[in-house]
Structure 1
Amino acid sequence: MPSLLRSEAQTRADLVSVDHTHVVLDLTGAGDHFRSTTTITFSGRPGSSTFVDFKGAELLGATLNGSELDPDSWTDGRLPLPKLAAQNTLVLVGLMAYSSDGEGLHRHVDPADHQTYLYAMSFLDAAPRWFGCFDQPDLKSSYTFDITAPADWTVLGNGPSERVGEGRWRITPSRPLSSYYVTLVAGPYASLYDQHDGIPLGIHVRASLAESLAAEAADIFHVTKASFDYFHRVFGVRYPFGEYHQAFVPDFNAGAMENPGCVTFRDSYIFRAAATTSERGTRAGTIAHEMAHMWFGDLVTMRWWDDLWLNESFAEYMSHRACTESTDYPLWVEFGILRKDWGSVADQAPSTHPVAGNGSADAQSALNDFDGISYAKGAAVLRQLVGYLGDETFFAGLNAYFTEHAFGNAEFADLISAWTRAGARDLGRWAASWLQTAGLDTLTAVPDLQQIRIARVPPRQAPADRTHAISVAGLDSTGAELFRTPVLVSGAETTIALPAPAYVVVPDAGDETWAKIRFGAEGWSRVGPLLPGIADDATRVVVYNSIRDGVRNAELAPAEALQIILESVPSEPHDIVVRDLLTFAQTELAGPYCPPAIRASRRRAVHQTAREILDGSGPGSDRQLAAFRIAVRSSDDPQLLRDWLASRQLPPKLSLDPELTWSLVSRLSLLTGEEALIDEALRADPSAAAHTHAARARASLPTEQAKAAAFELLMRPSEASAYTVYATARGFFEPSQSDLTAPYVDRYFAEIVDTAKFRTGWALGRAALLSFPFSAADESTLKLAEETLRNDDLAAPLRRSLVDGTDELRRAVTSLLKFG
């Protein structure tokens, strides 16, 4: 189906204004389809023509102003609407298909109790898969939903849900909505309720997760309430959508979706096993992120997808501030070590793009730009902006923006105007250099006699004149900080006085800008060994990110990076940093950036470090749990894994839970090929999460039969859920099985193109990227990847995944050719 063009959206918005949309759904049938009737009242330009979006399985009937529309005219998800009147009534009756890919109206049957659960995901262009609509962000509508469903279900949506009869509900959102964040949640969900500051609150999960919800609800409610208080205070505009439900739903593709009044989250955030404080902090950040969208995106919605950053960058930035300033979860270390690394990889790929003003000729190209640039880079840039404007001007401008454009649509220029009226100056230049250009500058600070020279090198492909507000720190030979100096870096070189002789100078020591950081001629060999002695969290994160970036740019030998990481992480106090760096060491430094012949020895080194941390961790601590997980994943010792699986020789106060058990079963079956271990674990734990673990474990089995079955699932149509496909993709090209999977490298590139015939959107791109043969990092694989990209007929999500996968592969091959 063609993706909506921006030009088409502009034309339709000039012709049409939507008054009301009434959706009637019958969810009582037992088959794979449901009946959807949509009545849209709208004004139009008399005599003009347009189209409505409808992506059902069958169009059963359609009338415009009482006249039948030709069902044969419905093609490619569009139904033409000829000869509009000034006031129009459109009725669409369709048979719609439940989805299994997390988009449209998704249906999940919980293997734990065989109960059926539904939720709707309408982003980015999936709303027409469950009701007819004018599917573009600037054609907002008021809504009424009438739902027929089993009488014992919970039914939720974007407004209060009123039971109007046996098995019948009416949902009436209080405010106009864009189609992309319209939702429905229906099924025998387990629920807990509370209220705060006059706002009714609800949390909802599958019944099989009710016990886990009970254990997690207090923290979720606490973060929710604290975030509401924070946003009310800084924005000066109250939450405008009435009730606030948070539904943790199965098979969800993203982390969460900001549907007004009814946010949907992936249900892995309801921990069914032991979780660390940093994992709860990540969840807190997601809760605050989605709540920030109630203002950025829902109250004021971008007019078109090229301003997607007005949603995501702001929500990302404000969620980290909200959690750090108002909850028990300070998140700037998490932002630096996880989010900025993600965004940095995206901003150096061939698919990089500016934060704002990407054009987005159609909706699908906007979805392809929904990445670490829209989130992490945008948030980092906003952090720079706030440093320039100050909080008073920043929030005054936002208040004016929210007030002026409430329940409507806006563009970047509207926000710039609001800030300018609040007292900002020269924002056009700032926006041009930071938001409308791609790539990262490289900042290098070198002490030179009585001064420090800070060189700024813009990316060659997209030069820009950016000014960086940073701090520069000098360290002695133990890593102790000697001085910290604020500086504005502009032009090719900035020079400041050297406050004291320093062994190493770290630019952006507070991790406050968006740039690649380097340390002069001796580089990482000087700063790397200092990491255990660097007291400041942000400075360590800057150094660690520089190390990872140096590896990916073939500037730092992977073996040297591995040594630095393994020598420094035992003294690292933040578990999230330990986890992320050891994961990088195992999956990249002992994976694509390592010749196959020595991957096992590097993996053993990671395992030994994890065991060292494990042995030195407090019994029952988060650090112990994080280290144990890494030790399991990196172990090549079946007997050790068997002992742990039998609860023998476990670390003190650590007991096995379902997730740890699956980690052990997955690793042990990978090493031994014992599929019976997977079957036995599934009998003991029949949950949805267990089935996902089992799919990955089966794909990782070291047998020809297992690989053949997994490849068939990846490359052929099936009834398997998207989560099963993703898990299979993750387990297929296991770095330790390069000989076994070698025959499938050619087949991947030959057959992945045809998956666009039966997958679309998120599922198509995600499955392709997760199954990309990174572990086969050599010139022949790179040649196959480049040849595949010459195909002009690649579907957009597939092309984006192949572009990014090929770039990562090329970086690994370049490093191997240089360093071996």
Structure 2
Amino acid sequence: MPGENLTRVEAQERAGIIAVESYDVDLDLTRGDEVFGSTTTVRFSATPGSSTFIDAITRTVHSVTLNGVVLDPSVSDGVRIALDDLAASNELTVVADALYTNTGEGLHRFVDPVDGEVYLYSQFEVPDSRRMFAVFEQPDLKATFRFTVTAPEHWEVVSNQTTPPPTEAAPGAKTWAFEPTPRISSYITALIAGPYAVVRCELTSSDGRVIPLGVFARKSLVEYLDADYVFEKTRQGFAYFEEKFRRAYPFEKYDQLFVPEFNAGAMENAGAVTFTESYVFRSKVTDAIRERRVVTILHELAHMWFGDLVTMKWWNDLWLNESFAEWASTIATAEATEWTEAWTTFAAMEKSWAYRQDQLPSTHPIVATINDLEDVQVNFDGITYAKGGSVLKQLVAWVGIDAFFAGVAAYFEKHAWGNTELSDLLVELETASGRDLSAWATLWLETAGVNTLRPVIETDAAGVITRFDIEQTAIDAYPTLRPHRLAVGFYTLTDGRLARTHRVELDVDGAVTSVDELVGLARPDLVLLNDDDLAYAKIRLDEASLAVAIENLAGFESPLARSLVWGSVWDATRDAEVPARDFVKLVLGNIATETESTTLRTVLSQVVLAASAYTTPERRDETLREVADTLWTLARTADAGSDSQFQFVKAFASIAESSSDLAVVADLLSGAVSLDGLDVDTDLGWELLIALVAGGLAGEAEIDARLASDNTATGQQSAAHARAALPTVEGKHAAWASLVEVSTAPNTIVRTTALGFLRAADPELLAPFVKPYFDMLLPVWEDRSYAIAEKLIVGLYPSPLANRALVDATNAWLEANAEPPALRRLIVENLAGVERALAAQERDAR
């Protein structure tokens, strides 16, 4: 990877020398399963006599022609092509062979095990369009792109512009010559090709244009594609964003393509958005996943304006792209679709992610320092997405929603098709709102860390409040205290229901804020800071409110209030302020009636982690058994066919370790035990089998048999997960070797194998891999692509051991390896999770 890096200084220097006009890219996809032909002609202006380079990761460069002069191919090192003695106006042609990948980067090639068909798709963010064509790979060197593609004649070929009628090429092949794109950045160009099935539709934009729509999936998956629903959400998103942004959709068509082996949820290629095909539901999924798909659809649609029409100048403003899309997709989901509790989902999932990321040693300001491409690769994190989105939500509350949208609309109008920095947006928001945002930006965007807010309440003998203060603290490493706009809610318990009986909204600033308007009121049963979730801050319940929550959390009428309390107690558990046993008690006593699917999914994941990693080892087995038994009871008593029933079964299978619990799992899989309304379909069947394999009650024969009946891409991934979960030394060594000693596994197999490798009822199975883990770090970092290296470095860290020996070994590696910074960051984050688990275990033991 180091040879593929690009520094910000290099990008600034290059942007100071050249301006790009256009690319003509000719691709030949008929040359076999390893390479494709890539011919690029780029026209650009430059400072006469200057030198620079163009990016091109290639197998072979056949020729480089600059202004009619054929250069020695040695000007290419396989990553960059040196360009010297440039003219004022230049034309460069590069003829090369490029490589398909199976890592989800560049031009990814996938063979469908069902029918042997080949599917391709591009994924270019951050630095990977250079894997498909020669390009000045940085976001501020925008240009037009004209793609000409030769491919098998039975394929669909999709790019940013409308797909043209093909012309005949060689026998069995055709050529598609696309019109040039508008002026865009290279990372949002796209090529998707293969025998995809497509459903087409259209809508009328606010400016009267008819916008063609397409939804694509592999032929073997198309029977599960609910295209009408995707079109419905797309129409709702178009109408919402065009109204709020006061600007029509900026491109000529909008295709949405569900593609195999995708590394992320989706990618905002202009007019050709790619999604993970796990959003094509071949089996039952939770309502949380269904809602997440809607948010993702709207997230990528928001990017068509914020990110594609107007693009950041450099990756330090990546957060602005992603945070805006997070905020915009959430408000659109809440206001324009049936998922009206989207802000509760945001609190349960995004904000919990943000708080977790912001408490890691690697936390950073929202406006991060991005020195090079390796820096930005590791910054697709909870700060960039979730904290930024949370802070934008608070900014909206401060300036007002109408002023915020007016400022955004002015920003689009002024900077359409250009590149911007944060200050460009703040200027428009200040103009629209009349507020000075400089201090806000400094405190919220340029400093790291999350504040903690605690109520300090005193009452007289009659229970009347005589003092109500909000204390704000910060850790020593990040001591900034910030202004917060928040609400305080009073909740009264009546007949088992917790209803809000009083609310006050105020500004909190400094170490102590007195809330005088609450003095003289009767103390309620529960006091909730940050009611309605306006602020970005960790909140704590006072002792009396925590006791009421543990016994009565299910009684909250408000799903958002419940979510805030769940999150508060979980964060206090992670901080070793509350023992894990209290969190387990809270969950087991109150989760049965949780109505919000994402909250349910999040809390179930948290209670599994609390039982397995945060509980003192002396009580671990007992706690795991208690959680598993309760989850199974909840599954049996839940409404037939409900989302809750489904989630309780899945969580039970993930934690089942005792012989009696595994026997229940086996009976569920065989059909000897059934629950009304629960269908043990293909994917749930795999989850149950993986639990049995991890528990030693199934093995290779059962895995092979199930794979034979589901020899699909998803089936192969699940089989890899299951094999890596075998609870034997031999099984773990085989999983390790398949990833570390062999480098051919595709990205999804790497991910699922790592999941199975870490699944161990007896964590000591992983002890022999501590030294090999640290031995493999530098070779993997140097030899594998970023997408694969990250999966191995995070996915194979033996965190279930959670012991002092692992901490010592990790610290020893960090002390011995000062470079590279991006790799160290991943290791520091791995270590932080183990240290937090040890602190939580110590607290639980008291």
| Fold in common (TM above 0.5) | yes
Partner of 1:454: 470
Partner of 1:553: 575
Q: Aligned pair 1:664/2:688, yes or no? A: yes
Partner of 1:475: 491
Are the aligned partners of 2:577 and 2:843 in contact in 1 as well (CA < 8 Å)?
A: no
Are the aligned partners of 1:670 and 1:700 in contact in 2 as well (CA < 8 Å)?
A: yes
Partner of 1:584: 606
Partner of 2:512: 493
Are the aligned partners of 2:550 and 2:589 in contact in 1 as well (CA < 8 Å)?
A: no
Are the aligned partners of 2:159 and 2:272 in contact in 1 as well (CA < 8 Å)?
A: yes
Q: Quote the offset at 1:598 in angstroms.
A: 4.1
Partner of 1:622: 643
Are the aligned partners of 1:303 and 1:411 in contact in 2 as well (CA < 8 Å)?
A: yes
What is the distance in 1 between the residues matched to 2:667 and 2:138?
56
Partner of 2:364: 353
Q: What whole-Å deviation, never above 9, does each CA across 1:71-126 have from its counterpart, x for those lacking one?
A: 22323611111011011000111111110110000001111211111001111011
What is the distance in 1 between the residues matched to 2:738 and 2:783?
12
Question: Which aligned pairs between 1:78-227 and structure 2 lie closer than 5 A?
Answer: 78-166=80-168, 167-197=174-204, 198-213=210-225, 216-227=226-237
Q: Quote the offset at 1:524 in angstroms.
A: 3.5
Out of 266, 269, 278, which is 2:279 matched to?
Answer: 269
Q: Quote the offset at 1:792 in angstroms.
A: 3.2
Deviates more, 1:760-769 or 1:249-258: 760-769
Question: Which aligned pairs between 1:422-433 and structure 2 lie closer than 5 A?
Answer: 422-433=432-443
* Code of the aligned partner of 1:122: F
What is the distance in 2 between the residues matched to 1:91 and 1:717?
36
What is the distance in 1 between the residues matched to 2:590 and 2:543?
22
What is the distance in 2 between the residues matched to 1:675 and 1:599?
29
Are the aligned partners of 1:118 and 1:186 in contact in 2 as well (CA < 8 Å)?
A: yes
Are the aligned partners of 2:694 and 2:759 in contact in 1 as well (CA < 8 Å)?
A: no
Q: Quote the offset at 1:523 in angstroms.
A: 6.8
Partner of 1:604: 625
Q: Aligned pair 1:780/2:832, yes or no? A: no
Partner of 2:462: none
Partner of 2:710: 685
Partner of 1:339: 350
Are the aligned partners of 1:368 and 1:796 in contact in 2 as well (CA < 8 Å)?
A: no
* Code of the aligned partner of 2:644: R
What is the distance in 2 between the residues matched to 1:212 and 1:378?
35
Deviates more, 1:15-24 or 1:670-679: 670-679
Q: Quote the offset at 1:549 in angstroms.
A: 1.2
Deviates more, 1:576-585 or 1:14-23: 576-585
User: Helix, strand or coil: the match of 2:469?
Assistant: strand
Out of 407, 411, 415, which is 1:401 matched to?
Answer: 411
* Code of the aligned partner of 1:16: I
Q: Quote the offset at 1:700 in angstroms.
A: 0.4
* Code of the aligned partner of 2:514: T
Q: TM-score, normalised by structure 1?
A: 0.97
Q: Quote the offset at 1:590 in angstroms.
A: 2.3
Out of 73, 77, 80, which is 2:79 matched to?
Answer: 77
Q: Aligned pair 1:738/2:763, yes or no? A: yes
* Code of the aligned partner of 2:132: W
Are the aligned partners of 1:592 and 1:735 in contact in 2 as well (CA < 8 Å)?
A: no
Q: Aligned pair 1:294/2:304, yes or no? A: yes
What is the distance in 1 between the residues matched to 2:788 and 2:348?
27
User: Helix, strand or coil: the match of 2:739?
Assistant: helix
* Code of the aligned partner of 1:490: D
Q: Quote the offset at 1:789 in angstroms.
A: 1.9
Q: Unpaired segments of 5 or more residues in structure 2?
A: 169-173, 205-209, 460-465
Are the aligned partners of 1:765 and 1:797 in contact in 2 as well (CA < 8 Å)?
A: no
Partner of 1:643: 667
* Code of the aligned partner of 1:343: A
What is the distance in 2 between the residues matched to 1:425 and 1:254?
37
What is the distance in 2 between the residues matched to 1:34 and 1:68?
22
Identity of aligned residues (%): 37
Q: Residues 797, 188 of structure 1: CA spacing in aligned structure 2 closer, same or farther, 3 A cutoff? A: farther
Q: Residues 507, 565 of structure 1: CA spacing in aligned structure 2 closer, same or farther, 3 A cutoff? A: same
Q: Quote the offset at 1:794 in angstroms.
A: 4.6
Are the aligned partners of 1:762 and 1:797 in contact in 2 as well (CA < 8 Å)?
A: no
Question: Which aligned pairs between 1:740-755 and structure 2 lie closer than 5 A?
Answer: 740-755=765-780
Q: What whole-Å deviation, never above 9, does each CA across 1:601-621 have from its counterpart, x for those lacking one?
A: 322222222223222322222
Q: Aligned pair 1:504/2:526, yes or no? A: yes
Deviates more, 1:47-56 or 1:602-611: 602-611
What is the distance in 1 between the residues matched to 2:217 and 2:819?
38
What is the distance in 1 between the residues matched to 2:288 and 2:601?
10
* Code of the aligned partner of 1:696: H
Q: Quote the offset at 1:339 in angstroms.
A: 1.0
Q: Aligned pair 1:252/2:262, yes or no? A: yes
Deviates more, 1:625-634 or 1:720-729: 625-634
Q: Aligned pair 1:567/2:592, yes or no? A: no
What is the distance in 2 between the residues matched to 1:735 and 1:464?
41
What is the distance in 2 between the residues matched to 1:619 and 1:332?
27
Out of 636, 655, 676, which is 1:652 matched to?
Answer: 676
Partner of 1:702: 727
Q: Residues 818, 629 of structure 1: CA spacing in aligned structure 2 closer, same or farther, 3 A cutoff? A: closer
* Code of the aligned partner of 1:744: F
What is the distance in 2 between the residues matched to 1:598 and 1:267?
41
User: Helix, strand or coil: the match of 1:469?
Assistant: strand
Are the aligned partners of 2:490 and 2:526 in contact in 1 as well (CA < 8 Å)?
A: yes
RMSD: 1.6
* Code of the aligned partner of 1:560: D
Q: Residues 366, 395 of structure 1: CA spacing in aligned structure 2 closer, same or farther, 3 A cutoff? A: same
What is the distance in 2 between the residues matched to 1:69 and 1:710?
47
Are the aligned partners of 1:353 and 1:369 in contact in 2 as well (CA < 8 Å)?
A: no
Are the aligned partners of 1:511 and 1:542 in contact in 2 as well (CA < 8 Å)?
A: yes
Are the aligned partners of 1:764 and 1:798 in contact in 2 as well (CA < 8 Å)?
A: no
Out of 763, 768, 777, which is 2:788 matched to?
Answer: 763
Q: Quote the offset at 1:196 in angstroms.
A: 1.2
What is the distance in 2 between the residues matched to 1:766 and 1:522?
43
Are the aligned partners of 1:471 and 1:507 in contact in 2 as well (CA < 8 Å)?
A: yes
Are the aligned partners of 1:633 and 1:667 in contact in 2 as well (CA < 8 Å)?
A: yes
Are the aligned partners of 1:256 and 1:263 in contact in 2 as well (CA < 8 Å)?
A: yes
Deviates more, 1:232-241 or 1:463-472: 463-472
Q: Quote the offset at 1:797 in angstroms.
A: 4.3
What is the distance in 1 between the residues matched to 2:295 and 2:215?
17
Q: TM-score, normalised by structure 2?
A: 0.94
Q: What whole-Å deviation, never above 9, does each CA across 1:29-50 have from its counterpart, x for those lacking one?
A: 2231111111101111111111
What is the distance in 2 between the residues matched to 1:500 and 1:706?
62
* Code of the aligned partner of 1:456: Q
Q: Unpaired segments of 5 or more residues in structure 1?
A: none
Out of 551, 556, 576, which is 1:534 matched to?
Answer: 556
* Code of the aligned partner of 1:405: H
Q: Aligned pair 1:674/2:704, yes or no? A: no
Are the aligned partners of 1:599 and 1:736 in contact in 2 as well (CA < 8 Å)?
A: no
User: Helix, strand or coil: the match of 2:136?
Assistant: coil
Are the aligned partners of 2:257 and 2:274 in contact in 1 as well (CA < 8 Å)?
A: yes
User: Helix, strand or coil: the match of 2:799?
Assistant: coil
Q: Residues 793, 25 of structure 1: CA spacing in aligned structure 2 closer, same or farther, 3 A cutoff? A: farther
What is the distance in 2 between the residues matched to 1:470 and 1:818?
31
User: Helix, strand or coil: the match of 2:533?
Assistant: coil
Are the aligned partners of 1:310 and 1:412 in contact in 2 as well (CA < 8 Å)?
A: yes
